[in-house]
A and B are shown apart, each in its own frame.
Chain A
Amino acid sequence: MIAVRARLDGVVRRFGSVEALAGASLEVRAGEVHALLGENGAGKSTLLSILGGMLRPDAGTIEVGGRQVALASPRVAWALGIGLVHQHFTLVPPLTVLENLALGRRLQPARLGRTLTRLRAEAERLVQRTGLDVRLDARVEQLAVGERQRVEILKVLLRDPSVLVLDEPTASLAPAEVASLFELLRGLAAEGRAIVLVAHKIDEVLAVADRVTILRAGRTTFSDVRSKVDAASLVRAMVGESVTDVAAAVGVVVVASGSARAAAVGVGVGASVTVDDAARRRPGGLVATLADVRMHASVGRPALEGVTLEVRRGEIVGIAGVQGNGQRELARVLSGRSLPDSGSVQLPAGVGFIPQDRTLEGLIGDFDLAENVALALHADPRFTGPAALRWDAVRAEAERVRTRFSIVASGTKAPAYALSGGNRQRLVIGRELLVASDLLVAEDPTRGLDVAATAFVHDQLRRATETSEGPGVVLISGDLDEVLALSDRLLVVSRGRLTPVPENARTREGVGALMLGDSSAAA
Chain B
Amino acid sequence: MPRPDRFRLGAGWVGAGAVAATGAVSALLLIVGGYDPFEAAGAALGGAFGSADAFLSVTLVRSIPLMLTGLAVAFAFRAGVWNIGAEGQLLAGAIAAAWVGLVGRALPAWLLLPMLLALAAFAGALWALVPALMKVRLGVGEVITTLLMSFVAIELTAFVVRGPLQEPRGVFPQTEAIAAGARLPALVPGTRLHLGVVLAVVAAVAVAWLFRQTKLGFRMRAVGASPEAARMAGKIDTGPVTLVAFLGSGALAGLAGGVQVAGVTYALYEGYSPGWGYTAIAVALLAALDPLWVLATALLFGALEAGAAAMQRDAGIPAVWAVAVQALLILAVLALDQMRRRANAGSAGV
Whether A and B touch (Cβ < 8 Å) is answered with: yes
Q: Does B265 touch A at the CB level, under 8 Å? A: no
Most-contacted residue by chain A among B218, B233, B348 (CB, 10 A): B233
- A387 lies within 8 A of B215 (CB): yes
> Which residues of chain A are within 8 angstroms of B232 by Cβ–Cβ distance?
332, 337, 353, 355, 361-362
* Interface stretch (choices B38-46, B219-227, B247-255): B219-227
B interface residues with partner A (beta carbon < 8 Å):
5, 213-216, 218-219, 221-222, 225-226, 228-236, 345-350
> Which residues of chain A are within 8 angstroms of B216 by Cβ–Cβ distance?
387
Within 8 A of B (CB), among A376-395: 376, 378-379, 384, 387-389, 391
> Which residues of chain B are within 8 angstroms of A364 by Cβ–Cβ distance?
222, 225-226, 229-230, 233
A interface residues with partner B (beta carbon < 8 Å):
15-18, 20, 332, 335-337, 353, 355, 357, 360-367, 371-372, 374-376, 378-379, 384, 387-389, 391, 417-418, 428, 431
User: Which residue of chain B has its CB nearest to the CB of A361?
Assistant: B232
Q: Please judge, given known A-B contacts A360-B228, A367-B222, whether A389 and B233 are in contact too, CB under 8 Å.
A: no
Min Cβ gap B2→A in Å is 13
User: Which residue of chain A has its CB nearest to the CB of B346?
Assistant: A16
- A378 lies within 8 A of B346 (CB): no
User: Which residue of chain B has its CB nearest to the CB of A353?
Assistant: B232
In the bound complex, CA of A375 to CA of B350 (Å): 24
Pairs across A and B, CB under 8 Å, 11 listed: A15-B349, A18-B349, A337-B232, A353-B235, A360-B228, A361-B231, A366-B225, A372-B233, A375-B229, A389-B213, A389-B218
> Which residues of chain A are within 8 angstroms of B222 by Cβ–Cβ distance?
364, 367, 375
> Which residues of chain B are within 8 angstroms of A418 by Cβ–Cβ distance?
348-349
Per a CB cutoff under 8 Å, which of A17, A20, A363 touches B229? Answer: A363
Give me the 3 closest cross-chain CB pairs, A-B, nearest first. A16-B346, A361-B232, A375-B234
- B348 lies within 8 A of A362 (CB): no
Min Cβ gap A251→B in Å is 27
Min Cβ gap A329→B in Å is 13
- B215 lies within 8 A of A378 (CB): yes
Q: Please judge, given known A-B contacts A374-B218, A378-B218, A378-B234, whether A388 and B229 are in contact too, CB under 8 Å.
A: no
In the bound complex, CA of A353 to CA of B148 (Å): 40
In the bound complex, CA of A389 to CA of B218 (Å): 8
> Which residues of chain A are within 8 angstroms of B230 by Cβ–Cβ distance?
364, 375
Interface of B is mostly: helix
Per a CB cutoff under 8 Å, which of A18, A357, A366 touches B350? Answer: A18
> Which residues of chain B are within 8 angstroms of A375 by Cβ–Cβ distance?
222, 229-230, 233-234
In the bound complex, CA of A433 to CA of B35 (Å): 68
Min Cβ gap A21→B in Å is 12
User: Which residue of chain A has its CB nearest to the CB of B6?
Assistant: A366
> Which residues of chain B are within 8 angstroms of A371 by Cβ–Cβ distance?
218
- B348 lies within 8 A of A336 (CB): no
Min Cβ gap B276→A in Å is 29
In the bound complex, CA of A17 to CA of B233 (Å): 31
Min Cβ gap B46→A in Å is 42
User: Which residue of chain A has its CB nearest to the CB of B5?
Assistant: A366
In the bound complex, CA of A384 to CA of B346 (Å): 38
User: Which residue of chain B has its CB nearest to the CB of A432?
Assistant: B233
- A388 lies within 8 A of B214 (CB): yes
In the bound complex, CA of A366 to CA of B231 (Å): 16
Q: Please judge, given known A-B contacts A16-B350, A17-B347, A364-B229, whether A337 and B235 are in contact too, CB under 8 Å.
A: yes
Q: With A15-B345, A362-B232, A388-B215 given, name 13 new contacts (CB 8 A).
A: A15-B346, A16-B349, A18-B349, A360-B226, A361-B229, A362-B233, A363-B233, A364-B229, A375-B233, A378-B219, A389-B214, A389-B218, A391-B213
In the bound complex, CA of A428 to CA of B215 (Å): 20
- B214 lies within 8 A of A361 (CB): no
User: Which residue of chain B has its CB nearest to the CB of A331?
Assistant: B232
Min Cβ gap A48→B in Å is 15
In the bound complex, CA of A357 to CA of B226 (Å): 12
> Which residues of chain A are within 8 angstroms of B226 by Cβ–Cβ distance?
360, 364-365
In the bound complex, CA of A364 to CA of B347 (Å): 19
In the bound complex, CA of A450 to CA of B319 (Å): 62
> Which residues of chain A are within 8 angstroms of B236 by Cβ–Cβ distance?
378
- B234 lies within 8 A of A376 (CB): yes
- B349 lies within 8 A of A361 (CB): no
> Which residues of chain A are within 8 angstroms of B233 by Cβ–Cβ distance?
353, 355, 361-364, 372, 375-376, 428, 431
Most-contacted residue by chain A among B216, B218, B347, B350 (CB, 10 A): B218
- A388 lies within 8 A of B213 (CB): yes
- A15 lies within 8 A of B350 (CB): yes
In the bound complex, CA of A494 to CA of B162 (Å): 66
In the bound complex, CA of A13 to CA of B218 (Å): 39
- B215 lies within 8 A of A389 (CB): yes
In the bound complex, CA of A361 to CA of B232 (Å): 6
> Which residues of chain B are within 8 angstroms of A389 by Cβ–Cβ distance?
213-215, 218
In the bound complex, CA of A357 to CA of B213 (Å): 28
> Which residues of chain A are within 8 angstroms of B235 by Cβ–Cβ distance?
335-337, 353, 376, 379
> Which residues of chain A are within 8 angstroms of B350 by Cβ–Cβ distance?
15-16, 18, 20
> Which residues of chain B are within 8 angstroms of A431 by Cβ–Cβ distance?
233
In the bound complex, CA of A24 to CA of B213 (Å): 49
User: Which residue of chain B has its CB nearest to the CB of A415?
Assistant: B348
User: Which residue of chain B has its CB nearest to the CB of A336?
Assistant: B235
Min Cβ gap A306→B in Å is 25
Most-contacted residue by chain B among A15, A336, A389 (CB, 10 A): A389
In the bound complex, CA of A366 to CA of B222 (Å): 10
> Which residues of chain A are within 8 angstroms of B345 by Cβ–Cβ distance?
15-16
> Which residues of chain B are within 8 angstroms of A18 by Cβ–Cβ distance?
349-350
In the bound complex, CA of A70 to CA of B120 (Å): 63
In the bound complex, CA of A389 to CA of B347 (Å): 33
> Which residues of chain B are within 8 angstroms of A337 by Cβ–Cβ distance?
231-232, 235
In the bound complex, CA of A374 to CA of B214 (Å): 12
In the bound complex, CA of A17 to CA of B214 (Å): 38
User: Which residue of chain A has its CB nearest to the CB of B233?
Assistant: A375
- B225 lies within 8 A of A367 (CB): yes
Per a CB cutoff under 8 Å, which of B213, B228, B347 touches A16? Answer: B347
> Which residues of chain A are within 8 angstroms of B348 by Cβ–Cβ distance?
16, 417-418
In the bound complex, CA of A391 to CA of B214 (Å): 9
> Which residues of chain A are within 8 angstroms of B229 by Cβ–Cβ distance?
360-364, 375
User: Which residue of chain B has its CB nearest to the CB of A374?
Assistant: B218
- A17 lies within 8 A of B234 (CB): no
Min Cβ gap B23→A in Å is 31
> Which residues of chain B are within 8 angstroms of A16 by Cβ–Cβ distance?
345-350
In the bound complex, CA of A376 to CA of B219 (Å): 11
In the bound complex, CA of A336 to CA of B213 (Å): 26
User: Which residue of chain B has its CB nearest to the CB of A435?
Assistant: B235
